[in-house]
Structure 1
Amino acid sequence: MTLTTTTHLNFRGVARQALEFYQSVFGGDLTIATYGDFGMPAGVPGADKVVFGKLAGVGGIRLMAYDIPGQDDADAAATAGSTRRENGVTITDRTFFQSLDSGSIEAVATYWERLAEGAAIIEPLAASAWSAGFGMLTDRFGVTWVLGVTAE
């Protein structure tokens, strides 16, 4: 039996922008349906927001997202919590990080550069005691990514 896990991200009115950004980072096919597509009358606030969004990216990346009903354009970073490094320790109140690993520093560095657009860098991408490359950032949509090179 094969299982697949897909991260489902919840946004406050910016799911379309986030999914389009992630598609620019990871490539692949994007599917978006709005509340209006599922019957919410046109003109009702929120009818244009995402009720179902899915990115099937290149290399196995899969993300889903939607807009929380009744929430709109809140500061994503503030509502998602915060993460920082102090004295070599990660301090956070977030419930999860999104991890992205590759066997090559070149691949990790490419994704890092794309995700870092407008991001808050928590730990710069660099060699570490456990990896040829490790870095952590919170992207402009409030999602914290941990990128690393997996030893072969």
Structure 2
Amino acid sequence: MSVTTTTHLNFRGEARAALEHYRSVFGGRLTAVTYKDTGAPADGKEADWVVWGEVVGENGFHVMAYDVPSELPWDQGANPFFVSVRGDDADEITALWQKLEKGSTVAQPLGPSQWAPLYGMLTDRFGVTWVLDVAAPYNG
């Protein structure tokens, strides 16, 4: 048996736009099921919101997202999670960074760090904080 983890992002009305953006950055297949598709729109204006969505890439990238309906509490919060994208190819990580960086607030520019050949942190236009780095062996 194996277990994998997948980052699940919660939005309020922006899940589809976020998933489309992440697909444009990482590639892959986007699936989005709306509240209307399930036959249970809680609110007419929320019928096209995503009740379950994901982007799955052939390169191993996988993220899930949904729109929290207005009858449930939701607060985007401050740094409730980071999404880590780690690879072993500096060119690949740099290319992903360049796509994610558009419209983002950079907390740490992509560059060498004490623990990785490349490391950077940014918060995208959807409020999601991403950490990208090139993996390095740890000999601690």
Which stretches of structure 1, 4 residues or longer, exceed 6 Å deviation after superposition?
A: none
Identity %: 50
> What SS is found at the alignment partner of 1:16?
helix
Equivalent AA in structure 2 for residue 109 of structure 1: T
Q: Distance in 2 between matches of 1:58 and 1:15?
A: 21
Q: Distance in 1 between matches of 2:119 and 2:65?
A: 26
For residues 77-96 of structure 1, the aligned pairs below 5 Å read 79-81=75-77, 93-96=78-81
Tell me the residue number matched to 2:3: 3
| RMSD of aligned residue pairs (Cα, Å) | 2.0
- Give distance in 1, aligned partners of 2:128 and 2:29: 20
Letter in 1 for 2:37: D
Deviations 1:68-111 (A, max 9, x none): 1018xxxxxxx534xxxxxxxxxxx4221111111111111011
**TM-score, normalization: structure 2?**
0.89
Aligned to 1:76: none
Instruction: Report 1:64-79 matches (<5 A).
Output: 64-70=64-70, 79=75
What is the total number of aligned residue pairs between the two structures? 135
The equivalent of 2:103 in structure 1 is 118
**TM-score where L is the length of structure 1:** 0.82
Q: CA deviation at 1:131?
A: 1.0
